[in-house]
Structure 1
């Protein structure tokens, strides 16, 4: 991804390392000095097909909603030596709202927010927060649960594959949700996962997808940055579910469902709050549900019956209405109870997720 709060976020949430941000909520909120001028730092190229392109597409919608152009720069790597100069060039030109797009920007954005107290900072997939800084991310387990339902409905063998980057909490919760959704449609479904060790490595992603299909998987899910797993699925005549954007753009004959970002649904109202003045960032960052703008799903044009789509949309509505997917009783694949009846996982427990539900098979 670059959509990664990873296990570090768990420590930040659970350990209370954001005390300063919490104290700031008792004070007056942040107010811009002067007219708003927005700039964005992209981790990758704006047409990367995945994570960054989802932000760029949101930028265009935000410009329309707010009636102003947004400056941006592409390919800013997760290095302080690149992040700080890029942000400071925009600030020198008058930008007073800076939006980042990477987990690895977190520490640099914290330092920049302290250095420039009159500038508002937002960071997608970040982990740091403050009086003028807010990180934000979506609850991707919700959308991958729905895509898992699609996979379970489309699969003939019940054997699903999943290409993932790293076994961090933010990935593990999508893998588990995918399998849980699949079992809603096929109680015997299994999900075999191969971790590539990289968020963006088409070569490893291709090898992983090929291996999963060779092992019998007839639907390939993914939590990596490129559309490669979907492309391989189409080449091999199986189905797939995408991540970040509607990946049927790249594999129209394979992609049945994609977990997509809808960043503008969060950013437009949040930017309006900043512009209005007395903005108070969420002390531990914004962690959005489908209804709050974190993400959604997009169906492809193949692989699913209207009946299956109706069941998926009913499950989507239940989530919007407040259903918590990680509610008890829930055990892991070894039979250990992880969520007792009558309770559900906290956000801190979600970030720390290092276990898998029954039906998930992990391979390196």
Structure 2
């Protein structure tokens, strides 16, 4: 009997030991799992795609105004999270309203309208699509979901005027101009101020074409100025036709929008040029991250790089380059001396007194010519 009891005792002890080991083997994984924090399973961050639309007044192959804007669009399109589309050669007025509305209906997040005459059509469409962002170039109207923007291209025109004034021999410089609106008038005035900085007795003769883009008409305008004795041709036109006319006549030319020296290499002195890419990228980034603001007016100066002058032609003397570069350095510092008073109009009346500079509102509404311009604002 005792023997049986001893066997039972040993069996019980072994069972208890096996149970304890089994329990420990089951407990270890649970304890380890409890001690190690579980890694959170987070979904991949969703990348917001921004759809940006661009409306151009002339063909992008014009090598001019629309071409410069389209270089900016391409920079946006190169972004991984952005897509773009454009419509070129859109007339100002009803056609532009239809194009802008069509883009809004297709769900574009932001629409850039790049010509002055698109202003009223865009502000009308903006009211119909409050969730869409609208950006108008060169105008002044704005709303809760529409802002306007431009560059102080008049600063670059002033510098190119200095070059033209230094290079003319006849003292007569021609200017083929599109429409008599403040933007164009302001540019002519700034150019003339630059001309008279280096050649006080020179004059700038203006011919209106009443078109932004018509190479044949632009060329005819330049020829009429050349026939009138002008030996430098400047322009506020979208094509290189005026420069081609200048080269054919053995005269010099000042370009606009982009470096068009390849079209008239023997005549091209320099040009007032645009570089939209950084600001277009900056704008769509603001749309993407929710920091874009409507009802804003932005006017970028030469210090931002939005406006500048093209490289000088080989015929421009070194001393002329130095004088112009020194003025550019002042503008880069923020010293906007282009219209620093005293400034007189064509009739000799002081429009901007000595010691004063015009406000942006006054510049945006400029509708008079400075002393030295031959032509009318109509």
TM interval, shorter chain, is 0.7 to 0.9
Report the secondary structure of 2:195's partner residue. helix
Q: 2:15 — aligned with what?
A: none
The separation in 2 between residues aligned to 1:89 and 1:352, in whole angstroms, is 31
Is 1:66–1:268's contact at 8 Å kept on the other side of the alignment?
Answer: no
Is 1:243–1:259's contact at 8 Å kept on the other side of the alignment?
Answer: yes
**Deviation by residue 1:91-131 (Cα, 9 ceiling, x = unmatched):** 45442122222222222221222222221111223343122
State which drifts further: 238-247 or 294-303. Answer: 294-303
State which drifts further: 117-126 or 90-99. Answer: 90-99
Confirm whether residue 42 of structure 1 aligns to residue 71 of structure 2.
no
State which drifts further: 124-133 or 313-322. Answer: 124-133
1:223/1:138 CA distance change after superposition, 3 Å? same
Is 2:73–2:280's contact at 8 Å kept on the other side of the alignment?
Answer: no
Report the secondary structure of 1:281's partner residue. coil
Q: 1:146 — aligned with what?
A: 159
Q: How do 1:13-28 and structure 2 match up within 5 A? A: none
Q: How do 1:237-256 and structure 2 match up within 5 A? A: 237-256=250-269
Q: By how many angstroms is 1:48 displaced?
A: 2.0
The separation in 1 between residues aligned to 2:249 and 2:236, in whole angstroms, is 19
**Deviation by residue 1:29-74 (Cα, 9 ceiling, x = unmatched):** xxxx954222222223221221111111121123335653322222
Is 1:264–1:293's contact at 8 Å kept on the other side of the alignment?
Answer: no
1:171/1:300 CA distance change after superposition, 3 Å? same
Is 1:254–1:302's contact at 8 Å kept on the other side of the alignment?
Answer: no
Confirm whether residue 260 of structure 1 aligns to residue 239 of structure 2.
no
Structure with the greater alpha carbon radius of gyration: 2
Is 1:140–1:259's contact at 8 Å kept on the other side of the alignment?
Answer: yes
Q: 1:310 — aligned with what?
A: 322
Q: How do 1:62-77 and structure 2 match up within 5 A? A: 62-64=76-78, 68-77=82-91
Q: Of the two structures, which has the highest relative contact order with CA contacts closer than 8 Å and spacing of 6 or more? A: 1
1:160/1:131 CA distance change after superposition, 3 Å? same
Q: 2:22 — aligned with what?
A: none
**Deviation by residue 1:264-310 (Cα, 9 ceiling, x = unmatched):** 23222222222221322353x22221123441110243321122122
State which drifts further: 266-275 or 134-143. Answer: 266-275
Q: By how many angstroms is 1:84 displaced?
A: 4.3
CA RMSD of superposed structures (Å)? 2.3
Q: How do 1:167-182 and structure 2 match up within 5 A? A: 167-182=180-195
Report the secondary structure of 2:120's partner residue. helix
- Aligned pair count reads 330
**Deviation by residue 1:172-208 (Cα, 9 ceiling, x = unmatched):** 2211211211122222222122222322233332222
Q: How do 1:213-228 and structure 2 match up within 5 A? A: 213-228=226-241
The separation in 2 between residues aligned to 1:281 and 1:148, in whole angstroms, is 35
The separation in 2 between residues aligned to 1:84 and 1:198, in whole angstroms, is 19
Q: Which runs of 5+ in 1 are unaligned?
A: 1-32
Confirm whether residue 212 of structure 1 aligns to residue 218 of structure 2.
no
The separation in 1 between residues aligned to 2:191 and 2:367, in whole angstroms, is 16
Q: 2:343 — aligned with what?
A: 330
State which drifts further: 232-241 or 196-205. Answer: 196-205
State which drifts further: 252-261 or 56-65. Answer: 56-65
1:185/1:231 CA distance change after superposition, 3 Å? same
Residue of structure 1 aligned with 2:331, choices 319, 331, 353: 319
Q: By how many angstroms is 1:335 displaced?
A: 2.0
The separation in 2 between residues aligned to 1:345 and 1:148, in whole angstroms, is 20
Q: Which runs of 5+ in 2 are unaligned?
A: 1-46
Report the secondary structure of 1:265's partner residue. helix
